[in-house]
Amino acid sequence: MDKALFIDFANELGIKYLEHENLSKHTSFKIGGPAEIFAKPSSIEQTAKIIDFCRENNIDILPLGKGSNVLISDKGIDGVVMHFGSEFGKITLLDDETVYCEAGTGLAALCNFALKNELTGLEFAYGIPGSVGGAVFMNAGAYGGEIKDVIIYADHIDKNGKTGRFTGEELSLSYRHSAYSDKEYFITGAAFRLQKGDKAEIRAKMDELLGKRFDKQPMDKPSAGSTFKRPEGAFAAALIDQCGLKGYRVGGAEVSTKHAGFVVNIGDATCSDVLKLMDDVKEKVKEETGYVLEPEVEILGE
């Protein structure tokens, strides 16, 4: 891409950006090469301008939230990585039981906002280290709850710069899937319907679920959460464990000894290490159990 052109454009509009930004700083795996441009829009207007500019100049754009469900190539990402971060994280109470938040809002911030306003319904999401945009994108869920249960609508801008909104069925939410999965849209915000609840009970539920995570998951090591999706009729972690793969390593990547469903970065793991380890795990699981594992973590870049 013509970086100088982007830089002139961004400076003129006051859009914050970084050049050659190492994406390992922006992923929970702590893996990923540089982004040619790492743009940090702070409003829908800036987001729309970046989309228009990139379309007109044939530049690829990759939306990124908290980077907690991605495995980014060691070579990095060409073009623009559009980061929906804290600059894009406003939360508003629309009425007594409806919360609207911008896409860069962290799920922890959203859950704490709900708690403060004595609203129940989002406790399941406490401890999922993603942004609202990333959570809607893949219908994040845990402990019997999912985004589908609480979302009313999501707002977006499409690749042609047109703003829009998906509600209910249009969102097409199912297990780790949404209408946004085809990557044609940039999610800018979402509204959630919650219910009035008891603050102490909400707090207790959040603490209980977070405690379960600390008990069962390798929260002390960089990862991208569950590496593989749940195959029909089985659990990926149980299959991997059954094949004796806990602790299996390739370079700095390891099948967690605490939870076989997680691949963790135990040192300087590269994307290639993780990909090789995932291939080995898939092969062994298929050979020994017949199940074919599909990645849950999104592999991005070449």
Which one of residues 34, 130, 197, 252 is an interface residue with ligand FAD (CB under 6 A)? 130
Which one of residues 32, 34, 41, 67 is an interface residue with ligand FAD (CB under 6 A)? 67
Q: Which is nearer to ligand FAD, 249 or 258 (CB)?
A: 258
Catalytic residue among 28, 68, 226, 256: 226
- For residue 215, give the amino acid letter: D
> Does residue 225 belong to the site contacting ligand FAD (CB under 6 A)?
yes
Q: How far is the CB of 131 from ligand FAD (least distance, A)?
A: 3
Catalytic residue among 176, 178, 223, 254: 176
Q: How far is the CB of 73 from ligand FAD (least distance, A)?
A: 14
Q: How far is the CB of 4 from ligand FAD (least distance, A)?
A: 26
Active-site residue 296, yes or no? yes
Q: How far is the CB of 147 from ligand FAD (least distance, A)?
A: 8
Q: Which stretch binds ligand FAD (CB under 6 A): 8-16, 63-71, 90-98, 192-200?
A: 63-71
Of residues 231 through 270, those in contact with ligand FAD by CB under 6 A are: none
Q: How far apart are CA 135 and CA 215, in angstroms?
A: 23
Of residues 18 through 57, those in contact with ligand FAD by CB under 6 A are: 28
Q: How far apart are CA 235 and CA 239, in angstroms?
A: 6
Residue ranges of alpha helices (H) inside 220-265 are 236-242
Q: Which is nearer to ligand FAD, 63 or 197 (CB)?
A: 63
Which one of residues 101, 128, 154, 293 is an interface residue with ligand FAD (CB under 6 A)? 128
Tokens of 25: 């700083």
Name the one residue in this structure whose structure tokens are 């409806």. Answer: 98
Q: How far apart are CA 262 and CA 116, in angstroms?
A: 32
Q: How far apart are CA 4 and CA 9, in angstroms?
A: 9
Which one of residues 24, 68, 73, 265 is an interface residue with ligand FAD (CB under 6 A)? 68
- 85 within 8 A of 104, measured Cβ to Cβ: yes
DSSP string, 14-36: T-EEEEEEEGGGGSTT----EEE
Of residues 148 through 207, those in contact with ligand FAD by CB under 6 A are: 180, 186-187
DSSP 124: G
Going by their DSSP bridges, the two strands 119-120 and 141-142 should be labelled as unpaired
- 113 within 8 A of 94, measured Cβ to Cβ: no
Q: Which is nearer to ligand FAD, 128 or 206 (CB)?
A: 128
Give the closest residue to 138 by CA, choosing from 302, 295, 301, 10.
295
Q: How far is the CB of 288 from ligand FAD (least distance, A)?
A: 26
C-beta neighbour count of 182 within 10 angstroms? 7
User: What is the C-alpha radius of gyration for the chain, rounded to an integer number of angstroms?
Assistant: 20
Residues that bind ligand FAD (CB under 6 A): 28, 62-70, 84, 103, 128-131, 133-135, 137-138, 140-142, 180, 186-187, 217, 223-225, 298
Active-site residue set: 176, 226, 296
